[in-house]
């Protein structure tokens, strides 16, 4: 048995680019783990995959290099349970026919029944003894193990869509055989150091040759002399950068260098990052990964389009270049789109003018279409498109888009009016101004869905509406709200820029949530076709981050009121409230708050809305670090249990004349003085200070439970003490339910 490095390559026709990296990683992992399962690779090495193997993936090949693979797995001892001793041996200790038959089934030759006794041993098995048979199993050879591993690995690949193709049979009999794989396969390499391993899959026999770049390979075929020379040989003789990450890194560095030469930056690049940070981020970018999967050796070229197209909103131009052509738009230092862009070519001709000219000709009609749509759309105002909503069905149970727009406007109006009554700024002083702008934005928010540009590029909905609103002379707040009302669109996305946008975004999302819950169209498992989870999280984030003094319960009431009762007959308010609370918990967990702190705050007696929930969370975090926190949390839990178990009607006041023990007198006195301080701090939204003031009650609370019998036989005495505990409980649980912090 010797250990050498192994190479496996499968040469195929062009693989689906969006799945290439996943296919390459899955293939490498499956081969590595398959060999480890057969003891051809040390399992410890298989766990540390970065050192044990390297995955290669290019448009026409999947390959893997694995370190230190055995030519033959070691034999291993196997112990197999046969049967209970009472079944396998008779009273004299001789082998029974059942035991002989069992061993013969395992391939053990038994000329004399008692000969088998030398091949078995007795051992405890639970409460009884059993007979066990020890044997040595021959380790598989690399040829056997790799054959099985490859067959299993190909079956496990996450193939988006399987193709079927025909292979001519390699035999005297004429005919064809059907093969199923992601793309037709044309070559197989399997090498242990410099030796070819005799395996075959997909109708292919392993060898040591492959094909490189279709046009630029130095040699055809490319001969691989050793498993360790694969990457270097492919780069030198095949003109192929076989490693996905290696190819991506070369491409990213070349793109950034060319952009800097033009005094620009890549549109997909985030400004302000270090070179290393930018490189790592770009390697994870979806466009970079897709283009990397389309080329075998990237060559960067600079192309340009006519400056007249820069009159079109840059989002349109960027989208068509990236989505349709896989080009890399460039931004100037001022953040404006440049008329230069970069392409990644799979060939590197001496004269690149034909390639550059061809790509410029291809993109020009796309940009011309965008300009035509933009010019045509501006001939009609957004207001003139509103009537078209009455002809567009939103949902067969919820009416047209026109009816939906009216509901969103009504919800937005109610939110503004409710917030203005709360006295919070800016809602109180600017109610009419905000209301007018909000209703206008809600009315026009979806009108760009009826434009040619959004019809061609649905990803631009909202964005184009904002541009058209500016062209129509609408209020700047209205234009911004139209662009922002879809926000936040994903985790980590920014919120709407202004208050108008926040209200319209909430109204739009609430209408969808209440409507879909009202007709029973709920998300199930991983299916959420109407993005209800995203909508609920968006409303949650706006409420928390904008500190809006309005509760989810009130928002749902306002939203439900705009629907005809029959249209949302299945609506269950408590279910939708629970749905929102799940999103809130997920949001707070993502901000690294402990679960018990979250549940403590959500269990607070005085939690009406979520405007101060972060302040409460921070206060609980500070309180939990105090030395008194665990004792008070445990006491609070004890008080909660006592009050829950009490069958009596608890009094709302405390009679000092009924105090007997000094401990209850002392607790009541300290509670009165402390609660006044805690209440003032609470009303000033100083939740940390409020909880810290209550922490001073620890000694008095401990003494009370040590010295006072709460459930006294005297009814008046008992009720008075329960009333004292109720008062203490209400004071301690204004910020959070401290019992949730008890360990």
What DSSP assignment string belongs to 194-219? TEE---EETTEE-BSEE---TTT-SS
Residues contacting residue 308 through CB under 8 Å, at least 6 positions apart: 371
What average pLDDT does this structure show over 507-520? 96
Percentage of the chain exceeding pLDDT 70: 95
Between helix 573-590 and helix 613-624 the angle, nearest 10°, is 60
What pairs with residue 69 in β-bridges? Answer: 4
> What length does the chain have?
743
State residue 167 phi and psi, 5-degree precision: -120, 140
Question: Average pLDDT over the chain, rounded to whole?
Answer: 90
Q: Which of 452, 426, 422, 424 is nearest to 437 (CA)?
A: 426
Question: In the predicted model, is pLDDT for residue 116 greater than 70?
Answer: no
pLDDT, position 654: 87
pLDDT class for 428, splitting at 50, 70, 90? low
pLDDT digits (tens, 9 = 90+) for 623-637: 999 888 898 888 889
> Are 41 and 66 a contacting pair, CB within 8 Å?
yes
pLDDT, position 117: 66
**What is the distance between the alpha carbons of residues 465 and 188, in angstroms, rounded to a whole number?**
54
pLDDT class for 45, splitting at 50, 70, 90? low
State residue 74 phi and psi, 5-degree precision: -65, 150
pLDDT, position 73: 83
Q: Are strands 163-168 and 176-181 parallel, antiparallel or unpaired?
A: antiparallel
Residues contacting residue 183 through CB under 8 Å, at least 6 positions apart: 12, 13, 14, 15, 163
Question: In the predicted model, is pLDDT for residue 134 greater than 80?
Answer: no
Question: In the predicted model, is pLDDT for residue 614 greater than 80?
Answer: yes
Q: What is the pTM of this model?
A: 0.82
pLDDT class for 705, splitting at 50, 70, 90? confident
**What is the distance between the alpha carbons of residues 466 and 453, in angstroms, rounded to a whole number?**
13
Three-state SS sequence of 621-634: HHHHCCCCHHHHHH
């Amino acid at each position: 048995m010797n250990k050498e490095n192994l190479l496996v390559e499968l040469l195929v026709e062009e693989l689906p680019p969006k799945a290439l990296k996943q296919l390459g990683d899955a293939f490498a992992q499956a081969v590595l783990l398959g060999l480890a399962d057969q003891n051809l690779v040390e399992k410890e090495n298989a766990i540390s995959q970065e050192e044990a193997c390297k995955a290669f993936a290019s448009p026409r090949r999947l390959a893997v290099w694995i370190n230190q693979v055995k030519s033959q797995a070691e034999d291993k001892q196997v112990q197999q349970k046969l049967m209970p001793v009472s079944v396998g041996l008779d009273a004299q200790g001789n082998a029974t026919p059942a035991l002989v038959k069992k061993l013969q089934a395992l391939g053990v030759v038994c000329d004399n029944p008692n000969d088998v006794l030398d091949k078995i041993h007795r051992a405890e098995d639970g409460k009884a003894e059993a007979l066990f048979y020890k044997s040595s199993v021959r380790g598989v050879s690399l040829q056997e193990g790799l054959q099985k591993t490859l067959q299993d690995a190909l079956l496990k690949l996450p193939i988006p869509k399987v193709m079927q193709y025909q292979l001519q049979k390699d035999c005297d009999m004429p005919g064809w055989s059907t093969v199923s794989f992601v793309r037709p396969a044309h070559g197989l390499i399997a090498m242990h150091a410099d030796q070819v391993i005799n395996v075959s899959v997909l109708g292919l026999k392993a060898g040591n040759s492959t094909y490189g770049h279709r046009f630029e390979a130095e040699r055809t075929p490319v001969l691989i002399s050793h498993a360790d020379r694969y990457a270097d040989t492919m780069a030198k003789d095949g003109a192929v950068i076989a490693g996905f990450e290696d190819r991506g890194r070369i491409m990213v560095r070349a793109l950034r260098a060319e952009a800097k030469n033009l005094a620009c930056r890549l549109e997909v690049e985030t400004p302000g990052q270090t070179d290393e940070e930018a490189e790592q981020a770009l390697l994870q970018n979806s466009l970079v990964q897709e283009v990397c999967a389309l080329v075998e050796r990237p060559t960067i070229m600079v192309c340009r389009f006519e400056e007249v197209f820069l009159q079109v909103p840059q989002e349109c131009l960027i989208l068509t270049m990236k989505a349709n052509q896989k080009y890399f738009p460039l931004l100037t230092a001022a953040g404006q789109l440049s008329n230069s862009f970069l392409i990644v070519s799979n060939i590197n001709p001496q004269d690149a003018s034909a390639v550059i000219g061809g790509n410029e000709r291809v993109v020009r009609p796309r940009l011309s279409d965008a300009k035509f749509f933009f010019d045509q759309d501006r001939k009609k105002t957004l207001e003139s498109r509103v009537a078209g909503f009455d002809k567009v069905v939103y949902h067969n149970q919820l009416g047209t888009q026109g009816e939906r727009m009216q509901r969103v406007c009504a919800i937005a109006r109610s939110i503004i009016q409710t917030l203005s009554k709360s006295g919070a700024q800016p809602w109180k002083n600017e109610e009419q101004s905000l209301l007018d702008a909000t209703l206008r934005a809600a009315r026009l928010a979806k009108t760009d869905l009826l434009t040619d540009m959004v019809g061609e590029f649905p990803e631009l909905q909202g964005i184009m509406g904002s541009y058209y609103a500016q062209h129509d002379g609408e209020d700047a707040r209205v234009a911004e709200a139209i662009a922002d009302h879809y926000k936040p669109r994903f985790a980590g996305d920014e919120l709407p820029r202004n208050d108008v946008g926040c209200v319209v975004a909430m109204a739009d999302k609430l209408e969808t949530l209440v409507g879909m819950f009202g007709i029973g169209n709920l998300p199930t498992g991983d299916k959420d076709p109407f993005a209800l989870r995203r909508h609920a999280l968006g409303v949650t984030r706006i409420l928390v981050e904008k500190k809006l003094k309005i509760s989810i319960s009130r928002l749902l009431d306002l939203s439900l009121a705009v629907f005809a009762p029959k249209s949302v007959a299945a609506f269950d308010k408590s279910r939708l409230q629970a749905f929102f609370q799940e999103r809130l918990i997920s949001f707070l967990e993502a901000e690294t708050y402990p679960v018990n702190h979250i549940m403590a705050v959500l269990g607070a007696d005085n939690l009406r809305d979520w405007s101060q929930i972060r302040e409460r969370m921070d206060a609980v975090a500070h309180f939990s670090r105090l030395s008194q926190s665990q004792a008070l949390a445990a006491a609070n839990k004890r008080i909660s249990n006592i009050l829950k178990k009490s069958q009596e009607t608890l009094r709302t006041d405390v009679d000092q004349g009924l105090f007997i023990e000094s401990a209850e007198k002392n607790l009541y006195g300290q509670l009165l003085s402390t609660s006044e301080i805690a209440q003032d701090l609470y009303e000033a939204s100083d939740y940390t200070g409020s909880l810290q003031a209550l922490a001073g009650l620890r000694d008095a609370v401990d003494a009370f439970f040590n010295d006072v019998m709460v459930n006294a036989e005297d009814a008046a005495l008992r009720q008075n003490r329960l009333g004292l505990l109720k008062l203490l409980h209400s004071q301690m649980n204004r910020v959070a339910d401290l019992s949730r912090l008890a360990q």
